[in-house]
Structure 1
Amino acid sequence: MMNTERLPGKPYDLFLQGMRQGWTQKRDMDILATLHKFRFVSFSDLVKLYFPSKAGDSAARRRLLKLYRWRLVDRCRQWAPEGPTEYIYMLDDVGAYFLAAYLQKQVEELGWRKRDNQVKLAYVRQYLAAMRLYLELRKQVALVHFEPEYTLKGEGYYFRPDAYAVFIKGKYEYRVFFEVDMGTEGQQKIQEKIKSYEAYYRANARPGFIMPYIIFVADKEERVRKLEAWVEKSRTIKALQYQFWTFGELMRAWTAKGVS
């Protein structure tokens, strides 16, 4: 039973009414949870996740429009030389209250702020790339856990890999920190990341500790080679296992044999 005494306010009343009357669906809550987790998700990726039927595009447009009008989700469009692209969706304020109610939490416990939706385009693209990685992993491996913006905090280090994943491929379980590169960070920023990973390793290295792979993923081969050169120049701990791939190469390699 949901504890309604600790869920005051109109959004919660609407949520409870919606659940009773059936116009708030379990799928709606899953969409809100995904937007909370990934922050920015494209229309086409939401279709892949929650509207897999042949009529998925039409069903998604109808449902997402309702969620938008109810202020459960917000949306924006990127602009390209050929014109506006598809909608990008994010959690809106009423949606945050609905999700909190569904999880039997207060909205403050979600750690969500509406101003988090107001970021530069480069950051939006990075979140979209993390979702792209997530969808590809779901197709190629048995995905156990995937968390974007994974926080690593301890004595001497505090940083966020773009994602942390645990998955099974064949007979083996892999743990991976992903750096999804959009070509916007320079050599100094990459060097800072390497120092953070090495600080994390030094703070945790002990018998039984297994350091995850660190995989840099970029769109273009030229950028991949540049990242590799910067990392090799910066690293001081040879035990750390770095890999560098384009998105296409990474997925083809895993399809064939998994992480080597």
Structure 2
Amino acid sequence: MTNRMTSQDSKTEPRKPQLTDFSRYKVCDSYCNPPSATDTPAGGRHRLSRRQLEELDACLKAKDKKALLAIQRHRYLITGQVQRLVFTETATSTAALRAASRCLKKLKELGLIDTLSRRIGGVRAGSGSLIWYLSHAGERLLRLHDQKEAANRRFFEPSPYFLAHTLAVAEVSIQLTELCRKYQMELAELQPEPECWRSYSERGICLSLKPDLYAITVSGEYEDRWFLKIDLDTESPTKVIEKCRRYHQYYRSGLEQKESGVFPLTVWIVPDTDRKQHLLEHIRAAFDKQPRLFAVITAEELEELIRQGGEGDMLC
């Protein structure tokens, strides 16, 4: 679990930010925009030579590279998410969004990123509905200073569910960054998948634990560790329980405790309160009288969890 004690801070709490509800990325809220005859996928553009990439690398601004790294880290991001990660020092949110749009447009023209045909939020969302991903040239540019060479993989449009889940995971990652920035907490570690996956064995069989995110947050003298699972209400409670059993198996292995001294709290982040209550009932029934390794929250409760360490009605 975590080693956070219940906060006794009696100061007036700052106004709660309006956090984006990741459930809006679900399949029914997205639409496909058929590519026009003039659109050319990034993967199909003329291949840039290493010399050309080095020249581009020298010309890119710091925020250009931060935007590329953010998209690489999260696989797919919408314009507003890039803005919240990279363009945080602009006077107004409108100006920040415009700056992000200009940056992304520039990177696309250079062939370093491109957009999916699928968008989020409908046609009225405009450029804010675009979903960005790193092109092969962008991958190669970021690897100029590495020994590895970017794999020459053929690009395929992601499935609607995979895209919705990836954007939802990115949203939680961004919210963690924003919350730690707002409350002057330290986000000591934030690992996306597959970096956050764990390997262990059960009865001689090699198994994998696959959280969506692993995070360490530090507030004063207290440090909390989290495994985060993003649920879009697409799996039955039985399937969720099967995944929870993996966390109990990994807990019993003692590997995580040996490494860090504590076992992270596994947090299921769900779209609404009905789903929350449904999962709480099933998890509590399945793991009665066993260590309470899990919490189930809605996206709106993430701030309370990170600041206070969770309450009894979240834990199971």
Q: 2:174 aligns with which of 135, 140, 151?
A: 135
**Residue 141 of structure 2 aligns to which amino acid in structure 1?**
F
Q: How does 1:164-203 map to 2 (within 5 A)?
A: 164-203=214-253
Give distance in 2, aligned partners of 1:236 and 1:28.
Answer: 51
**Residue 109 of structure 2 aligns to which amino acid in structure 1?**
R
**Residue 152 of structure 1 aligns to which amino acid in structure 2?**
R
Give distance in 2, aligned partners of 1:97 and 1:200.
Answer: 36
1:94 aligns with 2:133: no
Give distance in 1, aligned partners of 2:305 and 2:200.
Answer: 34
- Unmatched tracts of structure 1, length 5 or more: 1-8
Query: Structure 2 length normalisation: TM-score?
Result: 0.69
Task: Decide whether the 8 Å contact of 2:209 with 2:250 is kept in 1.
Answer: no
- Name the structure where helix makes up a greater proportion of residues: 1
**Identity level (%):** 22
1:30 aligns with 2:70: no
- Name the structure where strand makes up a greater proportion of residues: 1
Q: How does 1:79-228 map to 2 (within 5 A)?
A: 86-108=129-151, 113=153, 115=155, 118-141=157-180, 142-149=186-193, 150-156=196-202, 157-204=207-254, 209-228=261-280
Per-residue deviation, 1:121: 1.6
Change (3 A) 1:172 1:71: same
Task: Decide whether the 8 Å contact of 2:267 with 2:297 is kept in 1.
Answer: yes
Change (3 A) 1:237 1:88: farther
**Residue 12 of structure 1 aligns to which amino acid in structure 2?**
R
**Residue 104 of structure 2 aligns to which amino acid in structure 1?**
L
How many residue pairs end up in the alignment? 245
**Residue 196 of structure 1 aligns to which amino acid in structure 2?**
R
Task: Decide whether the 8 Å contact of 2:120 with 2:131 is kept in 1.
Answer: no
Task: Decide whether the 8 Å contact of 2:136 with 2:150 is kept in 1.
Answer: no
Aligned to 2:104: 64
Task: Decide whether the 8 Å contact of 2:112 with 2:137 is kept in 1.
Answer: yes
**Residue 232 of structure 1 aligns to which amino acid in structure 2?**
R
Between 176-185 and 66-75, report the one with greater CA deviation: 66-75
- Unmatched tracts of structure 2, length 5 or more: 1-46, 181-185, 312-316
Task: Decide whether the 8 Å contact of 2:165 with 2:232 is kept in 1.
Answer: yes
Q: CA RMSD in A?
A: 2.6
Task: Decide whether the 8 Å contact of 2:169 with 2:230 is kept in 1.
Answer: yes
